[in-house]
Each structure stands twice: as C-alpha cells, then as structure tokens.
A and B are shown apart, each in its own frame.
Chain A
C-alpha cells in the first residue's frame, strides 16, 4: 500500500510558535487520527497540507507528488475532500447553491450522489445554510466532501460539538468511505473515543513537535497502565523489561502510575502488579505529561 499523504519534517515558523519537523503518513486504506492539545499545531499542519499557508521547511507529498509552499496542486485537490470544524459556506446560500458550487468546482462532481447523501442525512434541499444546526452542517460538509468521489478525506475537528448520536452517524459515514481500500482519512479530533472506534493509527503532536505515531491496537490493546507502590516502581524499573524511554511515569499522592508498552509482558514478569488496559486519552496524557525515567 502506498502513501496517499506523506508529510516529511514539516517546519512552519511563527513569531511565538514553531511547527518543528513533523512527519507522518496516511497510507491507502487507513484512517490516521491526528491528536494533540489545543495549540499543538494540528490545524497549522492541516493548513499546510491544504496549501492555505506556506511552510518553511520539509515537504508534503499528496498522491506521490510533492507540492511546494503556496498550494497543493489543482489535480491533487480534486482527489481530496475537506471537512472543517465549522460549516464554511456563506450563510445566505441555499443547498441548491452548494450543489452548483460543487458542480462548478469538481469535474467529477456527482450530483446524484450529493442528492442521495442529503436524503440519507435528512437535510431538506430547500434549506438555507444559516438554518442548519451544527450537526446538519457537518453532515452537509461531509456530503459536499464525498460527492466528488475523493480518495483522501481530511477532517479538522469534524465531530466537535456533535451529540453522541450525530457523532456515531458521522463515524459510520467514514467507515463506509473506507470500504474502498484505496481511500484514506486524516482526522484531527479532541474526542479520542471517536478515534479509538475508527482510527488505524494515531499521530500525536505537542507544542509543534511530533510526540508519537502508534497503531491504535498497540495503544488500546497492548500497552497498559501499571499502578505501583514506591517499592514496585523501583522493582519494575530494575527488571529492565522495557526500554526506559518507552515508559512514562505519573506520580500522585497515593500511588505511581506507569505507562508500559506491553501489559501482558508486565503481567508475566510481575503478576502481583495491577495493570489496566489504557485508552487513547490516558495514553496521550502519559505521553505528554509523564516523566521519563
């Protein structure tokens, strides 16, 4: 499987923030979650990928062809569907205007598919943009993004502010999109539970720096959080079961929690030690806040 999107050592410098050599890829057939705290640089990265901002170093390859500085190529953009966190169409437009915009913009615009998606999402064709709820707005954006048969979807906080039912509907749409093995999705989100449901791997950045890239299975199924007393911490560290750089320690008043890369291995070596499964949110918390021994 080749990479649909490849970001290599991306650098973007602002006065008070630097996106510092961020690298990751979206292979065909995979959903890549893009996480990080507020101001980490996720939106900056996505803007650079989409050509909304220039960048100062590194490279971005879309569909195996690189684009420089000011914008992604027109040909590449024909193969991308974009969903932002807010509905980006002028508020006075009607849905028929949005369909006309799609037809004007994309050579492979599928008017029938757009109508069908609107029907599926129960969005009335006569509605003004300004009368759509947030959930409806996100679905409209998804319909617009999907109606030209893109190969790559880029979603920036697309599920933020949606109720659980609407979020589940959106995730279902994304799963259906991935039925084609040549498709790929880059989705940035603060709602890590959504990513646990659909992402194949997760890229985390913080303060402009790449923190980790991990398969979701490694995070949610293999790694774990060990709850240790002081003596157990030393014992665990002295056993050298894991690379010290892979452990993250968060100390609290009553215990010390250690993120370990393989909870089964730990359980075999130290059966008496309580070690829970972790989830993406905790994994990210440990990776960002945890202490390295």
Chain B
C-alpha cells in the first residue's frame, strides 16, 4: 500500500501545487467578486482538489500504459487499490485543511479592510456592496468557525462521495470507459433517494420534521456535516471493498 500511495503522490506532486493555485484563484473570484461568505472557499478547496486529483491520477494510469507497468512493481493488486483510496482520502483531508487556512486568511484580510464601503474601491467593486461595508460578508466576525470548518469538511465529503462512486468503475474498466458510467450511477442514486424521500416514499413522512429541525436548531448544520461525513466514510469503505474485488479480476 505504501508503494502505491507514494507512487500516486510522487506522480501528482507537481500537479497538486498547480491545483491549489488554480483553486485559490477560483475561490477568490467566487468569494470576493460575488460578495459571498467564507463558506464557498472551504467548500471549493475541499471538493475541487480531491476530484481534480482523482481524475488526473486515473488519467495518468492510462498514459503510456503506466497501470500495467505498475503491476510489475513489487506490490499486490490489493495494495494498489487500497493505496489509491488512501491517497485520495489524504488529499481530501489536506485540501480541507488548506480550505480552512485559506478561509481564515481571506477572513482576516477582509476583516482588516471590511470597514470601507464598496464605493471607495471604485466602480469595479461597487456593485458587490454599493451601500454596505465592502467585503463585510467575508469578515471573521460574520463567519463562525463551524461554517468555515464545516464547509471545508463538507466539500471534502462531497469529493469522497463522488470518488466512492467513480473508483470502483475506474478499477474495473479504467477511466476512459468507467467515467461514462458515473452519470448513470449518479442518476440511479438520485432516483433511489427520490423514491425513498419523495412523495409517497417510505421515508417521506420524516422530511418535514428534518426541515423543521434544520430551520429551528442552530446546531443542525454541524450535525448534518458530521453525520454526512460519517455516512460518506462508510460508503467510501464499502466502495473500496467493491473496487478491490473488481480490480482483482481485471486484465491488462
């Protein structure tokens, strides 16, 4: 597993810094230009980087037939697949941490200049906050820690959820073929959720209570993030078991 984990990270180490830089530009545009809260920053970092990593590393597998040669290295198929899952989860955790750090950095800078109005920054920024304080929504005062941390973890959990769907397909048939089936699996999951929670579904009766709880309980956001993340971790583990079985019989 260590071999595969290191192999993935060695191959991706230069790309990862590019991904972080690209993500930084995107979140600054989203957060500042749209006068948003700090939540999208952590969310973007947490979700974007692991997903970019997943699709990049899976592409590299197929480049120059690397995935076949990799199996000639002293590592088992089981280790290859576990290493891939571990590398993604490590990248997701680091991305969430970076997301939190960047959120606080942006929040800190916004807090320093947050007393000035949009007009003072000229027409370019005026539309974002024409009457109120410029960047007021990005200050640390308006963004509690649970929002900053929760959005980063939530973003990472979303990336892991999509990875859990994608990786078994990639393990069985490679990225080129496997990725075509990802939307289909997504639609199937959506239909299952709709059937369960939609009108007439067996779990539909609980939906109003959940909505009521989310609207009335201040801690609901935290519980949703914690519960969702735990559910994703379980799904991720199940996905890994499935991928191990599929990869074991794959022929190269």
Residue ranges of A at the interface with B (Cβ–Cβ < 8 Å)? 47, 50-54, 70-71, 74-75, 77-78, 80, 82, 84, 86-93, 97, 100-101, 104-107, 129
Contacts and interface: CB of A to CB of B under 8 A. Distances in A.
Contacts of B212: none
B14 A105 contact: no
A80 B72 CA distance: 8
Nearest to A12: B251
Contacts, number: 83
Given A47-B252, A53-B252, A105 B64 contact: no
Contact of A74 (B13, B60, B63, B74): B74
Interface in B3-39: 3, 6-7, 10-11, 13-15
A74 B75 contact: yes
- Most chain A CB within a 10 A radius of its CB, from B10, B13, B60: B10
Contacts of B248: 70
Interface SS, B side: helix
Given A53-B252, A86-B64, A89-B64, A105 B10 contact: no
B64 A90 contact: yes
Nearest to B251: A53
Chain B interface size, as a band, is 20 to 34
A52 B2 CA distance: 20
27 contacts: A47-B68, A50-B71, A50-B72, A52-B252, A53-B251, A71-B71, A74-B74, A74-B75, A74-B79, A75-B74, A77-B75, A78-B74, A84-B65, A88-B64, A88-B68, A89-B69, A91-B63, A92-B11, A92-B15, A92-B60, A97-B10, A97-B11, A101-B10, A104-B10, A105-B73, A105-B74, A129-B64
B213 interface: no
Contacts of A74: 74-76, 79
A210 to B, nearest CB: 22
Contacts of A97: 10-11, 13
Given A52-B72, A54-B249, A105 B11 contact: no
Contacts of B3: 104-105
Nearest to A70: B248
Contacts of B223: none
Contacts of A88: 64-66, 68-69
Interface SS, A side: loop
B238 to A, nearest CB: 22
- Most chain A CB within a 10 A radius of its CB, from B66, B74, B76, B248: B74
A127 to B, nearest CB: 15
B2 A92 contact: no
Given A70-B77, A90-B11, A91-B63, 17 more contacts: A50-B71, A52-B71, A70-B249, A74-B74, A78-B74, A82-B69, A82-B72, A84-B65, A88-B64, A88-B69, A90-B63, A92-B15, A97-B10, A97-B13, A104-B6, A105-B75, A129-B64
A176 to B, nearest CB: 22
Nearest to B57: A90
A105 B70 CA distance: 9
Given A80-B72, A104-B3, A52 B10 contact: no
Contacts of A78: 74
A89 to B, nearest CB: 6
Nearest to B69: A88
Interface in B29-63: 60, 63
Nearest to B79: A74
Nearest to B60: A90
A53 to B, nearest CB: 4
Contacts of B14: 92
Contacts of B63: 90-91
A267 to B, nearest CB: 47
Contacts of A84: 65, 68-69
A104 B77 contact: no
B109 to A, nearest CB: 34
A54 B76 CA distance: 14
A52 B251 contact: yes
Contacts of A80: 72
A77 B74 CA distance: 5
A86 B65 contact: yes
A47 B7 CA distance: 22
A106 B74 contact: yes
A87 B74 contact: no
Nearest to A78: B74
Interface in B198-224: none
A87 B65 CA distance: 9
B72 A91 contact: no
A80 B10 CA distance: 22
Contacts of B64: 86-91, 129
A91 to B, nearest CB: 6
Contacts of A86: 64-65
A53 B211 CA distance: 52
A91 B6 CA distance: 18
Nearest to A52: B252
Nearest to B13: A97
A248 B63 CA distance: 44
